[in-house]
Amino acid sequence: MEYDRKERGVEFLLQKYETKQPGEINGKTDKKMKIWRLKQKIRYADTVMDRLNMKGIQREQVYHLLKDVPDLKALCRKCADEKIIAVISFYVKFCTTPKVALSDYNKYTVCREHDMSLEMYSRVVTNLAKHFQSHMPLSAVRYV
């Protein structure tokens, strides 16, 4: 797509700066790859949540946690992403369903398949809390 020098306008500049310039980091493919990885994590989370029988708000909470934590490995270095997603899903189910006890995690086949233990669960949840404490701004507390 060649432009006449006199008629070059905004379209030319948009096309020029959308492409990689010499010495510039290729950011286009990185962004696409991050989006693809996030979709892959959400797709796997959907299968886990289907098996845990999670609906509505619970699903939205898991999606929010997956989107807000960019690096799942920061939550548990020794664990695979699938294990961390299973732990996050069980955490949301445990927090939002009053009948689910934390000690009942072995009743779910998803937790047994991923060899989930209370130690791994506590590690992921603790690191998730640390992540939100360090990345959320503090707001003033008003006493009335």
In a domain, 21, yes or no: no
Structural domains counted in the chain:
1
- Residues in the chain, total: 144
Q: What is the pTM of this model?
A: 0.73
User: First and final CA of the chain: distance in angstroms?
Assistant: 65
In a domain, 142, yes or no: no
In a domain, 120, yes or no: yes
Query: pLDDT class for 81, splitting at 50, 70, 90?
Result: very high
Domain that holds residue 34: 26-133
Mean pLDDT over 42-64 rounds to 93
Q: Whose CA is closest to 92, among 135, 119, 53?
A: 53
In a domain, 5, yes or no: no
- Give yes or no for residue 3 having a pLDDT over 60: no
User: What letter represents residue 94's amino acid?
Assistant: F
By CB neighbour count within 10 A (0-12 exposed, 13-18 middle, 19+ buried), where does 47 fall? middle
In a domain, 10, yes or no: no
Q: What is the pLDDT of residues 94-105, one digit of tens each?
A: 889 888 788 888
Q: For the CA atoms of the chain, what is the radius of gyration? A: 22
Q: What is the CATH number of the domain that holds 65?
A: 1.10.472
Query: pLDDT class for 47, splitting at 50, 70, 90?
Result: very high
- Give yes or no for residue 12 having a pLDDT over 80: no
More confident residue, 23 or 55: 55
**Per-residue b/e over 61-96, b at no fewer than 16 CB within 10 Å?**
bbbebbeebeebeebbeebebbbbbbbbbbbbbbee
